[in-house]
């Protein structure tokens, strides 16, 4: 059987899970949601010794959600998925309100960002040469992404206002960023070299387009 095809259920279901599935489908929810909800509700029932959900309530939901974290080491997304399924079961399907739930919440692991200190960044840049050095300086000094540096054009450099126009950046949006003093001279030299090469290619009949 195709795992993405909803299993048939009786027209007048009597079994608990069949009635739940029928209710979910009448609500027009996606089959992926149905599978997720049924998975967590079955796991909840088994956790509590196969008690019927109508005989349980907030205390049992809290115990199950805390178990997912304390014993099963569940992630934030996993616990949230279980919570959504059980809230749907009680509030929507059974019409039983859940009190303010008090359970052990999963926490995102604390991860410190790996970034260079100013001294480390300068040391790395100082070990580069030529265009690679200029690219690193633009990334560090003007906050450009690597693809934004590679798309930079002569027309996007405004020495008078000491700014760069970043075109089609994140979200396909244009933005303006600063041009530090330390980048004026290297960019000027790069533009002069690019224009010289461009003129040379035009004389040879190539007509290429150069970045700065």
Q: What is the mean pLDDT of the chain?
A: 86
Residue with tokens 């048939």: 8
Residue 142: Cβ within 10 Å count: 19
Label the pairing between strands 157-158 and 163-166: antiparallel
Three-state DSSP at 211 gives strand
Smallest CA-to-CA distance from 41 within 105, 73, 2, 87 is with: 87
In this prediction, residue 1 carries a pLDDT of 41
Burial of 86 (0-12, 13-18, 19+ CB in 10 A): buried
**pLDDT per position as a tens digit, 71-119:** 888 889 999 999 999 999 999 999 998 988 999 998 876 666 677 788 8
**Strand order through the sheet with 175-178:** 157-158, 163-166, 175-178
Dist. CA 10–CA 164, nearest whole Å: 66
Q: Which residue has the higher pLDDT, 12 or 115?
A: 12
In this prediction, residue 182 carries a pLDDT of 86
Q: What are the chain's domains?
A: 16-94 (1.10.150.130), 118-204 (1.10.443.10)
Query: Residue 2: pLDDT band by 50, 70, 90 thresholds?
Result: very low
Dist. CA 74–CA 53, nearest whole Å: 22
What residues have CB less than 8 Å from 92, skipping those under 6 apart?
Answer: 23, 27
Q: How far is CA 31 from CA 21, 56, 74, 89, 208, in A?
A: 10, 26, 24, 16, 54
């Amino acid at each position: 059987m195709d795992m993405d095809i909803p299993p048939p259920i009786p027209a007048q279901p009597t079994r608990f899970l069949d009635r739940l599935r029928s209710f979910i489908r009448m609500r027009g929810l996606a089959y992926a949601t149905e599978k997720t909800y049924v998975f967590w509700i079955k796991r909840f029932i088994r956790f509590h010794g196969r008690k019927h959900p109508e005989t349980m309530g907030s205390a049992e939901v809290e115990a199950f959600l805390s178990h997912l974290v304390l014993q099963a080491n569940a992630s934030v997304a996993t616990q949230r998925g279980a919570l959504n399924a059980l809230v749907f079961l009680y509030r929507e399907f059974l019409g039983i309100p859940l009190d303010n739930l008090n359970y052990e919440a999963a926490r995102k692991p604390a991860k410190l960002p790996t970034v260079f200190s100013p001294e480390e960044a300068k040391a790395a840049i100082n070990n580069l040469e030529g265009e690679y050095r200029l690219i690193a300086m633009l990334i560090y000094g003007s906050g450009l992404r690597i693809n934004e540096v590679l798309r930079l054009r002569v027309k996007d450099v405004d020495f008078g206002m000491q700014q760069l126009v970043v075109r089609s950046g994140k979200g396909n949006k244009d933005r303006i960023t600063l041009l530090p003093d330390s980048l004026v001279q290297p960019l000027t030299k790069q533009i002069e070299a690019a224009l010289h090469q461009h003129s040379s290619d035009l004389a040879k009949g190539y007509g290429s387009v150069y970045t700065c």
